Each structure stands twice: as C-alpha cells, then as structure tokens.
Chains A and B, each alone.
Chain A
Amino acid sequence: MGARQDGFYWRVAATGTSFALFGLGGLVLGYVIFPVVSLLAPDRDTAVRRCRGLIHHSFRLFIGFMKGAGVLTWDVQGAAELRTPGQLVVANHPTLIDIVFLISMIPDATCIVKSDLYRNPFTRGPVRLAGYVANDSPEQLLRDGAAAIDSGTTLVVFPEGSRSVGSDLLTFRRGAAYLWLAARCPLRLVTITASPPTLAKGEKWYQIPHRRPHFHLAVRQWQAAEQAQPPAGSSARDVTREWQQYFHHEISA
C-alpha cells in the first residue's frame, strides 16, 4: 500500500468535486439541455443523436477535468479504432467510470441500462432522450441493440453485467455474444485496467488509493471466426468463452 502520496488530501477533495460535478452535469444536461435540444430537433432520431453527442463531449470535458485536477491519469492504445461507426464494443468493467471513458472516445455511443433507470423519475428523462437500450426483456434487448448498430451507432456492452469484484472477472453473460452473432458487425474488445485499483464495487467515493491511479485502455479488433453457422446458442457460448479467456489473459498479464 505505501504512504499516502501524490497530494492525497487534494485528491480526496478533487474526487469529491468530480462526483458533484458529474451529478450536477447530469441534472443540467438531462433536465434542461436535452429537452431543449429535443424540442428544436426536426425528428426523434436527430434529437437522440444530438443528445448522445452532447454526452460524448461532456464526458471528454469531464475526464479532462479529472486529469487536470490530479484525480487520475490515463492512456489509450488504439483510440482511433473506437471511432468506426456501427460497431460493438465489449469491455471489462473494473471501475465506476469505465463507461465515461468509453463514451468520451466514441462520438455516437449507446449502452444498455437497467430498466429501473427507465422507471425512476430522476433518470427516466435523460436515458430516454439519449435513447439508451433498456434491459427489460431479452427479445427487446437483442432487437433494440441490433437496430442501434444498424443505424450506425456503436453499442457498448460489459458482459460482466456489473463491476468486477476483486482483481478477477465476473462470469460473462452471453447477451453480447448473441447480439454480435446476430448483428455480424465490427467488434472491438477494450481491456480497462486501473492501477492502483480505484472506484471498485462497494467503495465509497473518498476511499481513494494512496497513489494517483492510472487508467489504461487497450483497444483490439476482434475477428469473426467465419464458421458454417452452428446454432446460435452454442456459438454464443464459444464466443463468450473466448472473450472471457482473452480478457482474463489481458488483465493478468
């Protein structure tokens, strides 16, 4: 663990400020700016795309703020590959802000949100205006996810379903593999590591590591093994297994 370094108490304060800023930004975007953008847009698709663009730029600003304030540093290997439209991005999920990093690098990104967010009065507005995919029923999730990719949007999925616990991965769920097999779209795997670990599941915001954390994102293109269409169920299992092995290897390297 070592002694508290890198301006520990400054970083606690800056981390708290970042959380506050994120919450405030979410409220202003979701309840002031998005409704105005939606009113001014000629149609719903344009409105959704503009709102996502705003989220993308806000997240860029936000990670820039965190770097400037000394909360964290980061580097990305292969960032340009994330900008291809209409692909599936599959990532591991070690921290609270993985999605912030990913969306800050993808101009038109959508993601899967708990359907609770569509029912909660505080979050319903923004998630609907950004057109995020609800995980209500599997049929609908597959349909909406594939439709988003078809329209040129990039779908970000964390097959772990929730943040990792400890240093290992959770067992991958198979939905992302089903989606990929159905959509047959370009696929990028993004390995995210935070060193020292931070913002993990169950941690309070002020429980920051003793050193300033560094985030590393490595983007890799994943080739479809062209196979004679085995039943989707068994190949979703194969694909999920391959991904899990890949990520396991990457994070233990």
Chain B
Amino acid sequence: MNSRQEISELLASLLTDMFEVPPHSITPEARLYEDLDVDSIDAVDLIVELRGITGKQIDPDEFKTVRTVDDVVNAVARVVGIE
C-alpha cells in the first residue's frame, strides 16, 4: 500500500464487501454514519480489518474523530506513513 489512491480503492472495496455500501455512494465527502449507514460498531470491525491488511496498529481513539471517507483515508495514510 503506497499511495492514497490505493488506500481509497481498498477502503471502497471494504465498505462494499463488509457493509453493503453501494459503490456509487462512496465519495471522499460521504459521511460514514449519515450517508453510508456505517455506525460506530461497524467501525470497530473496519479497524480490525484494516489492521489485518496494513499490519499497522490503528488507534480506535483516533478513529472516533473520523466522519467522512476521506478522513479514513487520511487516518490510514498516516499510520502507513504516507502524507
């Protein structure tokens, strides 16, 4: 995983596979809870999955502040060391 583009694609496929989010609704500005019906308990699952893929520890507390798809991409980019 070495670009934001790859992270975005990975996240989109996870959201679709794990939470039945329709692919067309996944935009950078889409809000997880309000727009995509991904709630806090889903987010726990998402963190576990991302941890498995990236091999990096993602702080659940940091995840509490994410609101949009783009926020998640940023959070993942930070832990894997891409700015």
Which A residues contact B (CB, under 8 angstroms)?
A: 137-139, 141-142, 173-175, 178, 231-234, 236-237
Contacts and interface: CB of A to CB of B under 8 A. Distances in A.
Nearest to B19: A233
B20 A142 contact: no
Interface string B27-60: 0000000000001111111100100000000001
B45 A178 contact: yes
A253 B39 CA distance: 31
Contacts, number: 38
Given A139-B44, A178-B45, A231 B39 contact: no
Report whether over half of chain A's contact residues are helix, strand or loop; otherwise say mixed. helix
Given A173-B39, A174-B39, A138 B19 contact: no
A138 B44 contact: yes
A175 B17 contact: no
B18 interface: yes
B52 to A, nearest CB: 11
Given A231-B17, A231-B49, A233-B19, A142 B44 contact: yes
Interface residues of B, number: 14
The 10 closest A-B pairs by CB, nearest first: A233-B18, A138-B41, A231-B18, A233-B19, A138-B40, A233-B45, A138-B44, A175-B41, A232-B45, A139-B44
Nearest to A174: B41
Contacts of A234: 17-20
Nearest to B17: A231
Contacts of A138: 40-41, 43-44
Nearest to B18: A233
